[in-house]
A = this chain, B = another copy of it.
Amino acid sequence: MNRVLFVLAVAGVLALPRFASADEGMWLFNDFPSAKLKAKYGFEPDQKWLDHVRLSSVRLAEGCSGSIVSPDGLVMTNHHCAHSCIEQLSSAKKDYVASGFLAKAVADEVKCPEIEINQLVEIVNVTERIVAATKGLEDAKYNQAQKGEMSKIEKECATSDQLRCDVVTLYHGGQYHLYKYRRFQDVRLVFAPEFAIAFFGGDPDNFEFPRYDLDVSFLRIYEGGKPAKTTDFLPWAKEGLKEGDLAFVSGHPGGTNRLTPTSQLELERDVTLPRRLQYAYELKGILDQFGLESPEKKRISNALLFFVENGIKARKGRLNALLDKPFFGTLVTREQQLRAKVDADPKLKALYAGAWPAVAQAVDRFRPMRDRYDFLEVGRGFNSDLFGIARMLVRLSAEIEKPNEKRLREYADSNLPKVKMEILSPAPIYDELELTRLSFALSKLREELGPDDALVKQVLGKESPRELAARLLKGSKLKDVKVRKALLDGGAKAVAASTDPFVVLARELDPQARELRKKYEDEVEGPLKKNNELIAKANFAAYGTSTYPDATFTLRMTYGTVKGWTRQDGTVVKPLTDFAGAFARETGSEPFKLPDSWTKAKAKLDLATPFDVATDDDIIGGNSGSPIINRNGEAAGVIFDGNIDSLAGDYGFDETVNRAVGVHSAALIEALDKIYGAKRIVEELKGK
């Protein structure tokens, strides 16, 4: 899904000094504040403990976290992290999203078309090499040299397709680490509950608490066609978490902006978030109505609707945080304080004072190109799986002929297995949904750039958005994986000769898309990187280095306790819910309708079983599927959400209200055992 949307992370930097005593921090595994933890909680994880947890944690490359919970490669993550797989494995006849999925035996486990899992096996600090490669360079040249060196390091590291090597930027350029992952592309679905209980309460309850969701799925990593044997895994918690218990979360927070300059945040607040919301709300309206047209239309659009609705709620939360004047005021003050410290020291001033104005200028250069960049290069004007595939084929065929370090980053050697997996994915593509998405996207392209824009005229010609979308779909053979394979194998020549209308369109648009990309990288991205790196260094100089870097979808460890909170209106929210609460909340109408399996099993269930749990761990989007780990290093639950206040965590952590939300280990066992009859999984989890 959304192959065409290459999401670009916004630059972020460092934590707030003011929150230093809170349970704040998305800590690096190779720089964990064990001493601080000991002082506060009397528990000091050693490196062995940390290494074990790191190796038991995994990343779903599309944007989630997970954990290995058995020696046979059983992976626990969220239902919503495997939702697209579950949908892709379904058909009009058998809808696993609605009915749930349980592989009775290992042989019944089914391969997910597009899930790639990464296990972080090694971290190497490569800061010196990157710094040496970019020394004395400015903006565009700085950016190119840095990307080139990163691709070079990654290529040296990735000696086989089973290794994924990413050079990651930490502390916004304060450090660069090489993350070496074991890559699993054979990932199979083991268990998923019904969507109705995975996402009980639906969009209305999303980002809220109390909750009653069994948002879990179990996958399994395979090697050589067999379950992968793993020495590192999290044993199941012998005791469930209680209020006040220490709770670690090991996972991959996607991105935070805790010291991003306010000029960048203003763009986020005034332009990026509002536009994204407008786009998403319209698409949500279309999909809602589309799904009412038939059960099959509902089925094929459900995963996309979920994705869109989730994005809306997350963005609204972030936008509301940025629009909150006192909150934004603290961000401004924080920046002013740092700038004042820099200005007060002539040496620091000479080195760093220019960074903030330079960022503001880069943001101003971005403003007039933002819409076009978003619609053409990021792909929001061409919301279609087939267009996404066509574009990957066009780009890959061109990029592959260049030296690795000169390529667009997403086509560097180390990323190719993922790209090829997506191109050759057997996941079903539905004409009606494609037509709907693409017609919408093309009409937004025209709306945002205007009907007289040269690009819009080139794309639409005399056709309406829907006519064009219909013609492309009618003429294209790209739904056939064999056709894609032939183009992939045929390389630049085959792609150049293709008359497939999606390939033709992607090919025709590519020169201007690339030109825009280059302009963006040279005039915006490069200066932003360079100057945010300076700001990171200024922050080190002012406040020292004993802190954590902003989230970058790399593995982090956070700690906290099981803890409720008090709302602004005075309501006290307790940190644990139970099964009885789910039955009490049921109305019988979606999204507050429990699945039949639950209703039938009610009498057998211990209704006092803890269901969902809130902790004050510092998490954010990307942490979905992360294990909650107790002090014994055992799996005590799985994170699936944060409360509404956690969305402001993008910009700053407020321990009084920011909460992570997960499924409690006891709920998982009780449901697997008594509702789903998944004895095989229960035994595997319990190590029997």
* A136-144, A277-285, A382-390, A484-492: which lies at the interface: A277-285
* Chain B residues whose CB sits within 8 angstroms of the CB of A290 once the complex forms: 289
CB-based contact B589/A204 at 8 Å: no
* A157-165, A342-350, A462-470, A655-663: which lies at the interface: A462-470
CB-based contact B436/A289 at 8 Å: yes
CB-based contact A204/B446 at 8 Å: yes
A285 to B286, alpha carbons, bound, how many Å? Answer: 4
A592 to B446, alpha carbons, bound, how many Å? Answer: 13
CB-based contact A589/B285 at 8 Å: no
Q: Does A270 contact B (CB under 8 A)?
A: yes
Which of A277, A283, A464, A592: most chain B CB closer than 10 A? A464
A587 to B463, alpha carbons, bound, how many Å? Answer: 7
* Chain B residues whose CB sits within 8 angstroms of the CB of A447 once the complex forms: 203-204
* Chain B residues whose CB sits within 8 angstroms of the CB of A417 once the complex forms: none
* Chain B residues whose CB sits within 8 angstroms of the CB of A274 once the complex forms: 274, 277, 319
Q: Does A205 contact B (CB under 8 A)?
A: yes
Q: Does A450 contact B (CB under 8 A)?
A: yes
A278 to B446, alpha carbons, bound, how many Å? Answer: 19
Closest to A285 in B: B285
CB-based contact A462/B588 at 8 Å: yes
A242 to B290, alpha carbons, bound, how many Å? Answer: 49
CB-based contact A270/B323 at 8 Å: yes
Q: Does A208 contact B (CB under 8 A)?
A: yes
CB-based contact B285/A464 at 8 Å: no
A274 to B290, alpha carbons, bound, how many Å? Answer: 25
Task: Please report which residues of chain A, range 234-261, place their CB below 8 angstroms from some CB of chain B when the two chains form the complex.
Answer: none
The contact of A278 among B205, B278, B589, B592, by CB within 8 Å, is B278
The contact of A281 among B205, B285, B293, B451, by CB within 8 Å, is B285
- Other than the given A201-B451, A278-B278, A278-B281, 20 more pairs (CB < 8 A) read A204-B446, A204-B450, A204-B451, A270-B323, A274-B274, A274-B319, A277-B278, A281-B282, A283-B285, A285-B440, A286-B288, A288-B440, A289-B289, A289-B436, A293-B293, A451-B592, A462-B589, A463-B587, A464-B587, A464-B590
Between-chain CB contacts (< 8 Å), 23 pairs: A201-B451, A203-B447, A270-B323, A271-B323, A274-B319, A278-B278, A278-B281, A282-B284, A282-B288, A284-B285, A285-B285, A285-B286, A285-B440, A286-B288, A286-B289, A288-B440, A289-B289, A451-B592, A461-B587, A462-B587, A462-B592, A463-B587, A464-B587
